[in-house]
C-alpha cells in the first residue's frame, strides 16, 4: 500500500472559480485548493488529493472531478508517491 498525491489544474466552465471550489469541497474531499491567475482574467484552480492506492486510483478521482458541477477542463499537473 502506497500513499499517492495528485495535483490537478481545473478550469471552471464560467470562470467562476469560487463556485467550482465550493462544489468540489461539497462533492469530494481535497487535501488542498488554491486559485491562480493565468492570464487576461482567466483563473485556474489547483486541487490536491491524497489517497491510498489500494482504495482508489487517480483515474477514478479524475472521473469524479469531471462530474462536479461547473468543472470544465482538467489537467494532471503532478502525481507521485508520498
For 17-32, the pLDDT digits (tens) are: 999 999 999 999 999 9
CATH number of 77's domain: 3.30.70.60
The pLDDT value given to residue 41: 86
Range in 13-17, 23-27, 34-38 with the lowest mean pLDDT: 13-17
Average pLDDT over residues 40-50: 94
Residue 62: other Cβ atoms inside 10 A: 15
Mean pLDDT check: name the lowest of 1-5, 8-12, 47-51.
1-5
Q: What is the DSSP string of 9-73?
A: EEEETTS-HHHHHHHHHHHS--SEEEEEEEETTEEEEEEEEEEETTT--HHHHHHHHHTSTTEEE
Residue 38, domain extent: 3-81
Q: How many residues does the chain have?
A: 82
Q: How many domains does the chain have?
A: 1
Q: How many CB atoms lie within 10 A of CB 63?
A: 11
Amino acid at each position: 500500500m502506497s500513499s499517492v498525491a495528485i495535483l490537478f489544474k481545473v478550469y471552471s466552465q464560467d470562470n467562476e472559480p469560487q463556485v467550482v471550489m465550493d462544489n468540489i469541497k461539497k462533492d469530494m474531499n481535497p487535501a488542498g485548493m488554491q486559485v491562480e491567475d493565468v492570464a487576461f482574467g482567466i483563473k485556474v484552480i489547483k486541487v490536491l488529493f491524497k489517497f491510498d492506492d489500494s482504495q482508489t486510483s487517480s483515474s477514478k478521482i479524475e472521473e469524479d472531478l469531471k462530474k462536479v458541477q461547473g468543472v470544465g477542463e482538467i489537467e494532471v499537473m503532478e502525481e507521485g508517491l508520498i
